[in-house]
């Protein structure tokens, strides 16, 4: 959970540096999806970014 919070915060503060970890699926599947969930819940992520993150979820 701590790793997911870290990456969700990184997405909010430094999108360009953090998004490659999500796009390349560098994290474990649970952590990957939890990161996306926490980032989507954040008010610091734009609606466009949230829409894009939803497409990157691992099913």
What pLDDT, on a 0 to 100 scale, did the predictor assign at position 32?
97
What tens digit of pLDDT does each residue of 12-26 get? 999 999 999 999 999
How far apart CA 42 and CA 59 sit, in angstroms, is 22
Other C-beta atoms closer than 10 Å to the C-beta of 23 total 10
How far apart CA 12 and CA 41 sit, in angstroms, is 11
> Which residues, 6 or more positions from 44, have their beta carbon under 8 angstroms from its beta carbon?
12, 13
How far apart CA 32 and CA 53 sit, in angstroms, is 11
What tens digit of pLDDT does each residue of 32-55 get? 999 999 999 999 999 999 999 999
């Amino acid at each position: 959970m701590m790793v997911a919070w870290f990456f969700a915060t990184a997405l909010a503060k430094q999108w360009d540096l953090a998004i490659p970890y999500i796009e390349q699926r560098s994290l474990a599947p649970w952590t990957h999806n939890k990161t996306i969930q926490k980032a989507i819940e954040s008010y610091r992520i734009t609606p466009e970014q949230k829409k894009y993150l939803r497409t990157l979820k691992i099913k």
